[in-house]
Amino acid sequence: MELNPEQERAVKAPPKPILVIAPAGTGKTQVLTERIIYLIESNIASPDEILAITFTNLAANEMVSRIERRIKDKHRIPDAIGTIHSLFGEILRKDIGLVCRNRNFNFEIIYGDFQDSIFRKALNKAKTDSKFSRYSLKDLKDLVSKYKISMHLGIDALTPIELYKVREVFDEYEKILEEKNLLDFDDVLIFVDKLFHEVPIILEFWQNKYKAILVDECQDLDEIQFRIIRKLVEKENPNFFAVGDPNQCIFIFKGAKENIFEEFKNLFEDCEEIELVTNYRSDKSIVKYSNEKKILPRPAISKANSKNQGCISFLPYIDNLLKETLLIQNIDLSRWSVLFRYNNDARFLVDQLIEHKIPFRTSNFYLLEDPTIEKIVNYLKVIYFDNSKPLKTILHSKDLALDKHTVKEICADGNYVGSTLFSFLINGTQWLDLPISDSDLSKLGVFLERIKLLRGLEKDYLAGLVESIIPIIFMGKITPTTKDKIELFILWLDAIQVEKTLFSAEEIVVNMISYAEISKEDINTKRHNYLTLSTIHKTKGLEWENVIVLRYEELQKSSTKNGNDKYLEYVAITRAKNNLFLIQ
């Protein structure tokens, strides 16, 4: 693999503490990969003596894939290349009993939808008053995470008001985790940190096992992650290799240490710093402009490898660009992205894209979070599948006005032993014998007849089905605002269901969120002709030929302030390869 001089210097640096400053587009992943191969082929470290820490599964998989292409022998591929939580989770699994008596080695690490469901259960148990009513699930998760980490580090990270609001839900959340032998990402880090601190012989074992430790995106490390890595490398003659860019430290709001490079240099007396300066991603004008937007001075100048000039356009509005470019037939939308600071910044654009039937994916599709649309989706799941979970959700809704005792009786597990709630209600009549009021029996009967009616409708064309069920499930009670949202939802369904078949309709209902929200992995593979809409935070490490940045003036203002968002402008600009459109 051909390397430029500064890359080669980094890859073949002596086995000592090395810090590689790698601005956007300078080949960070290539350098990390080649460094691992160099360590193996030079017999500096064997594959099982290498620990390579990344922040995403995408980055880990990319590194492994590149190494496999270079080293044909699978037995010489390091096993310990992965995310910080997956790698430390495996370290913890062997000895968790030494620091945590209420978990065993079979623990499961929770995240995403599974963690959200646990939080909802905790919130329901803790919700004795209205103190949580103004908090979103994400806000609560962030507060609980902040509280948990701050307790471990011995710092006061929450205000008294935040502490009051979070303590009760935190206690309920922890109870559920203990009962089910679960850990969240914070637990993994906390228990590994405790393990290394309280049981020195365990720390010594892992220090001796991993002769070479590499860290990707080191500017994203927070305090507890830094503490764990520091413990692993605080030994005689450490072979440590960290790569990152101080100008891309955009996760300060999550605790990322802005001074991490100085911390590492202070940790090692003989630390060597190497700068990568050749940008292989962007054309000349974009590299030149991004150099002007760097907040930190090192490295001062990135040099474009491209001979093309590229184009930067400052536009007052996105409308003309939308009409003249994105609405053109047969344009390759996978080469385009629209970036923004907050999800709300793109709502107006989402509406326009739906109306013009431009396929897109976004980091947060707001329509699916709307209670009205959530209600429709739950009905769709009941219509297409014998699904008890959305049925329970509908039974608990205010629309049916069923007494709490009634819902509890209906959903009691003993009613459908060897069967399902769906079958018990839809396919049988035993529910008529439940000890509930005549009024609620009547309401339930009307509801079940409605479900049977809906399940008998034509189901090949999803958008058409939704149009048919709206009068039935809303009974004519729709506000103008709600009507607009429903119409947008119907237009979106029509756009994403290319083939109007029962199979395609069922697939969309099952995978509704994945059709709307795109992950980093989806963005990077570019398997589909979708326009990507994403917050800037979710695009670090990614690139497109054409990048549109919304509300650019606000990003410029943020970059001049000493706040959490001061690096966002630079990160947004450096996603572009050929054309950059900055919408004022």
Per DSSP bridges, beta strands 272-275 and 303-304 are: unpaired
Report the CATH number that the domain containing residue 318 is assigned in CATH: 3.40.50.300
The answer to whether position 102 is within a domain reads: no
Report the CATH number that the domain containing residue 387 is assigned in CATH: 1.10.486
Residue 5 counted as an annotated binding residue: no
Residue 456 counted as an annotated binding residue: no
C-beta of residue 278 within 8 angstroms of C-beta of residue 26: yes
Statement to judge: residues 395 and 247 lie in one domain = no
Statement to judge: residues 155 and 201 lie in one domain = no
Residue-level pLDDT at 523: 55
Listed in sequence order, the DSSP H helices in 112-181 are 112-126, 137-153, 160-180
Choose the final residue of a domain: 513, 548, 569.
513
Percent share of the chain, pLDDT over 70: 95
pLDDT of 483 strictly over 60: yes
Tell me how long the chain is: 584
Look up the domain containing 209 and give its range.
5-90+197-276
220-244, pLDDT tens digit by residue? 999 999 999 999 999 888 999 999 9
Residue 22 counted as an annotated binding residue: yes
Buried b (16+ CB within 10 A) or exposed e, 147-177: bbbbebeeeebbeeeeeebbebbbebbbebb
309-341, pLDDT tens digit by residue? 999 999 999 988 888 888 777 789 989 999 999
Q: Using a cut of 0.85, tell me whether the model's pTM lies above it.
A: no
- List CB contacts of 495: < 8 A, sequence separation 6 or more: 354, 357, 358, 359
- State how far the Cα of 447 lies from the Cα of 400, in Å rounded to an integer: 8
**Stretch (H or E) spanning 213:** strand 212-215
The answer to whether position 79 is within a domain reads: yes
Average pLDDT over every residue of 75-82: 93
C-beta of residue 203 within 8 angstroms of C-beta of residue 99: no
Residue 26 counted as an annotated binding residue: yes
pLDDT of 476 strictly over 80: no
- State how far the Cα of 161 lies from the Cα of 577, in Å rounded to an integer: 46
Statement to judge: residues 291 and 172 lie in one domain = no
Statement to judge: residues 166 and 210 lie in one domain = no
The answer to whether position 43 is within a domain reads: yes
- State how far the Cα of 580 lies from the Cα of 237, in Å rounded to an integer: 46
Statement to judge: residues 500 and 527 lie in one domain = no
Buried b (16+ CB within 10 A) or exposed e, 488-527: bbbbbbbbbbeeeeeebbebbbeebeebbbbbbebbbeee
Statement to judge: residues 411 and 508 lie in one domain = yes
Total number of domains in the chain:
4
Statement to judge: residues 382 and 464 lie in one domain = yes
Residue-level pLDDT at 393: 87
Cβ-count burial of 472 within 10 angstroms (0-12 exposed, 13-18 middle, 19+ buried)? middle
Residue 112 counted as an annotated binding residue: no
Average pLDDT over every residue of 184-196: 97
The answer to whether position 96 is within a domain reads: no
Statement to judge: residues 497 and 547 lie in one domain = no
The answer to whether position 532 is within a domain reads: yes
- State how far the Cα of 556 lies from the Cα of 568, in Å rounded to an integer: 9
Residue-level pLDDT at 299: 63
Statement to judge: residues 372 and 443 lie in one domain = yes
Choose the final residue of a domain: 470, 485, 513.
513
Statement to judge: residues 81 and 210 lie in one domain = yes
Of 112-116, 263-267, 306-310, the range with the lowest mean pLDDT is: 112-116
The answer to whether position 97 is within a domain reads: no
pLDDT of 133 strictly over 80: no
Residue 24 counted as an annotated binding residue: yes
For all residues of the chain together, what is the average pLDDT?
Answer: 89
Q: Residue 547 pairs with which residues in a beta bridge? A: 337, 580
The answer to whether position 103 is within a domain reads: no
Residue 481 counted as an annotated binding residue: no
Statement to judge: residues 115 and 143 lie in one domain = yes
The answer to whether position 224 is within a domain reads: yes
